[in-house]
Structure 1
Amino acid sequence: MTLAILSKPAPLTVNSDGIVRVGGTRVTLDTVVAVFKQGATAEEIVHRYPSLKLADVYASIAFYLNHQQEVEAYLKQRQQQAQEIRQMNQARFDPQGLRDRLLARRIERQA
């Protein structure tokens, strides 16, 4: 009996926003890599994110380890985008001003 060794592509998809998701789920590659870097095993990751399949998590980790520079560049870009969006939202919707308005409304209702 001969063992047929076939290569299967990584279970990663890129959506229209450029976000890489794992195994047809909403779980991002960012999430899987971050939890893996914190020391979680593939089994622990599947336990935390039950929509993932164990084989997909192993394949995603293997992809990360085989393409570490590219994935790290992608993760850095995603962090920069998140920071820019956070700053833009804070500029548009001042959290302190919102808090003050809500407190003022609360006081008006109590009076």
Structure 2
Amino acid sequence: MTLAIVAEYAPLETNPDGVVLVGKTRVTLDTVVTVFKQGTTAEEIVHRYPSLGLADVYATIAFYLKHKQEVEAYLQQRQQQAQEIRQMNESRFNPQSLRNRLQTRQAEQ
């Protein structure tokens, strides 16, 4: 018997918003890489995110390890985007202002 060795691609897809997802799930590359860097095993990742398959998690980790510099740049870009969105939302909906209004209403009751 001969073992057929076929190269397989990482189970990663980019959605229309530019977010990289693992397999056919809504779990992001960011999520898998972050918990992996925290020391979580592939099996524990699958336990936390049951929509993921174990082989997909291992393939995603392998992709990260082989393309660490590019993935880290992508993660940095995503963090910067998240910070910009957070700042934009806070400027539009000032949480301190909202808190003050709620406290005023509570005091009036």
TM-score by length of 1: 0.94
The number of equivalent residue pairs is 109
After superposition, the C-alpha distances for 1:66-94 in whole angstroms (9 at most, x for unaligned) are 11111010000000101111111111111
Which residue is equivalent to 1:45?
45
Structure 2: segments with no counterpart, 5+ residues: none
Quick one: distance in 2 between partners of 1:45 and 1:34?
11
Residue 31 (structure 1) shift: 0.4
Quick one: distance in 2 between partners of 1:98 and 1:7?
54
Quick one: distance in 2 between partners of 1:32 and 1:80?
18
Which residue is equivalent to 1:21?
21
Residue 106 (structure 1) shift: 2.4
Residue 7 (structure 1) shift: 1.1
Quick one: distance in 1 between partners of 2:103 and 2:51?
40
1:1-111 matched pairs, under 5 angstroms:
1-108=1-108, 110=109
Quick one: distance in 1 between partners of 2:9 and 2:66?
13
Structure 1: segments with no counterpart, 5+ residues: none
Task: Name the aligned partner's letter for residue 20 of structure 1.
Answer: V
TM-score by length of 2: 0.96
Matched-pair identity in %: 76
SS in structure 2 at match of 1:25? coil
